[in-house]
Amino acid sequence: MKAFTDSWVDRFSTIYAEAPLAELSWFTAAPGPELVKLVIDGVIRRGDCVVDLGSGPGVDAVFLAAQGMKVTGVDLSAAALERARAWAALAGVEVDFVHGDVLDVPLLDGLADVVTDSFVFHNMRDEARAAYAGQVHRLLRPGGLFVLNSFSDHMVAGTGPRRVTSAEILATFDSGRFDCVDLRLYRNLPTADKPDQIHWIGQFRARR
Ligand SMILES: C[S@@+](CC[C@H](N)C(=O)[O-])C[C@H]1O[C@@H](n2cnc3c(N)ncnc32)[C@H](O)[C@@H]1O
């Protein structure tokens, strides 16, 4: 099964090779502001083993590595991985960027203290959601933290992936495998075509 909806499978297979990063509608060159806060607040700590699923050009992964976390980024796009490796080299940090599918992540069970998802889940087809939650849970140690950053149904309509409701998120990640610690809306950096970026930030702890 493919993880993403058809239009986004096609788009992501080429876009990182064809377009400058600044032309991508979701690219802000900054790590997610709520991710930054989780580091400032000590929820994600130095030495934590973090897996960033769908790491794209690696902005979150490089930020976390610069903060002392041991980071692995996973992405299906070779061009995205190439850009992410270049960004890590420029920043002078070690990140393991791995080619892989979020529905079949080539990493060991229970290795992660933290799994992050920035703008991956909202691209996913309904049938893939349970398998994806299974992968996130498999990668986390018991009690490990999943951090979800996602488009929401409260943001402007228009181009781009699906808008996701809190009910959809809770049905996927609070259904036996995880405990929801936090799920709320926040205002993200605006982009040219999305001035009102009202997104979800969620924290879920993996049950045993
Ligand atoms: C909207 S981008 C988000 C990138 C990055 N997390 C960020 O916040 O900038 C979604 C990413 O998921 C990747 N992707 C798409 N399908 C995937 C799959 N099945 N497995 C792994 N990565 C995938 C794309 O290549 C792309 O880099």
Distance between CA atoms of residues 27 and 45, nearest Å: 25
User: Best of 25, 34, 75 to mutate for ligand 1, by most ligand atoms within 8 A of CB?
Assistant: 75
In the predicted model, residues of the chain with pLDDT beneath 50 are none
pLDDT at 9: 67
pLDDT at 62: 98
Structural domains of the chain, with CATH:
6-21+31-206 (3.40.50.150)
pLDDT at 183: 97
User: Best of 6, 11, 12, 26 to mutate for ligand 1, by most ligand atoms within 8 A of CB?
Assistant: 12
pLDDT at 161: 75
Distance between CA atoms of residues 49 and 84, nearest Å: 18
- Percent of the residues in the chain that have a pLDDT greater than 90, as a whole number: 75
pLDDT at 104: 97
